[in-house]
């Protein structure tokens, strides 16, 4: 499995617009893409304009396929202008120990 952790620093005051675009993208990614296992949207506790996207895919190819979907393209069309800075960590998943306890 393949993981990316995307750290996204937004421009001031862009939090709500970012979430309106990103949350549906994250939900659709897991629901509609067989190769997308996890797409969590995390908000930094100390900085309301800093988000971390935690995404696990079956492979690098599944991530590439994700970037061709309509929900990804729609989200990027909105969020690109909201971002002040973005960094990506790329990693191989050695163990995924997730259990939903909602």
Domain count, the chain: 1
Distance CA 26, CA 60 (A): 17
Residue 82 confidence (pLDDT): 97
Share of the chain above pLDDT 70, in %: 96
Instruction: Quickly count: other Cβ atoms within 10 Å of residue 66's Cβ.
Output: 20
Half-sphere exposure of 12 (CA within 13 A, CB side): 0
DSSP string, the chain: -EEEEEEEEEPTT-HHHHHHHHHHHHHHHHHH-TTEEEEEEEE-SS-TTEEEEEEEESSHHHHHHHTTSHHHHHHHHHHGGGEEEEEEEEEE-S--------
The pLDDT, as a whole number, for residue 35 is 93
Domain that holds residue 24: 2-92
Q: Is residue 81 part of a domain?
A: yes
Q: Considering the domain boundaries, does residue 18 fall inside one? A: yes
pLDDT confidence of residue 64: 94
- pLDDT tens per residue, range 5-42: 999 999 999 999 999 999 999 999 999 999 999 999 99
Stated pTM of the model: 0.89
Confidence of residue 96 (pLDDT cuts 50, 70, 90): confident
In a domain, 17, yes or no: yes
Residue 13 confidence (pLDDT): 94
Structure confidence at residue 100 (pLDDT): 65
In a domain, 66, yes or no: yes
């Amino acid at each position: 499995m393949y993981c990316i952790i995307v750290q996204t620093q937004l421009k001031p005051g862009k939090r709500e617009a970012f979430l309106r675009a990103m949350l549906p993208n994250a939900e659709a990614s897991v629901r509609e893409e067989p190769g997308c296992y996890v797409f969590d949207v995390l908000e930094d506790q100390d900085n309301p304009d800093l988000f971390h996207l935690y995404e696990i895919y079956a492979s690098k190819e599944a991530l590439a396929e994700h970037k061709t979907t309509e929900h990804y393209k729609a989200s990027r069309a909105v969020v690109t202008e909201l971002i002040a800075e973005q960094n990506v960590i790329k990693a191989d998943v050695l163990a995924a120990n997730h259990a939903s306890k909602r």
